[in-house]
């Protein structure tokens, strides 16, 4: 409800960083966040990923979705968040935090 200014949430304590996630599940033990992007899947990039990851981190969600327009019936693409650092050559995919790109 960002256009009406209702039902916003804050990233930080003391009302800092107003955000409007498109969907937050009510199951607080298995929270899911979804964000709709009105652009093709190939145009969803770094700032879009950071946005939904911030929402997921803020609401302790382990699973997030990008919903985007799709007319060819493509398969979902599951992205696994990395852990580790390239400085130590310890990068591995996490299996507990995922982002699914799903075309509608």
Digit-coded pLDDT (tens) for 35-69: 999 988 888 889 999 999 999 999 999 999 999 99
- Cα–Cα distances in angstroms (integers) from residue 52 to residues 12, 89, 90, in the given order: 16, 26, 24
β strands within 1-104, DSSP E: 9-12, 16-19, 23-24, 32-36, 63-68, 77-83, 92-103
Q: Is the pTM of this model over 0.75?
A: yes
Dihedral angle of Cα 7, 8, 11, 13, to the nearest 10 degrees: -70
* Mean predicted confidence (pLDDT) in 87-92: 96
Contact 81, 44 (CB under 8 A): no
pLDDT at residue 2 is higher than 60: no
> What are the tokens at 65?
């979705």
In which band, very low, low, confident or very high, does the pLDDT at 31 lie, cut at 50, 70 and 90?
very high
């Amino acid at each position: 409800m960002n256009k009406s200014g209702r039902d916003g949430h804050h990233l930080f304590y003391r009302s800092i960083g107003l955000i409007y996630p498109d969907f937050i599940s009510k199951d607080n033990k298995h929270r899911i966040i979804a964000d709709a992007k009105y652009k093709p899947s190939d145009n969803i990039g770094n700032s879009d990923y950071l946005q939904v990851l911030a929402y997921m981190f803020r609401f302790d969600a382990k699973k997030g979705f990008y919903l985007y327009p799709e007319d060819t019936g493509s398969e979902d693409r599951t992205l696994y968040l990395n852990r580790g650092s390239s400085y130590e050559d310890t990068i591995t995919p996490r299996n507990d935090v995922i982002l699914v790109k799903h075309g509608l």
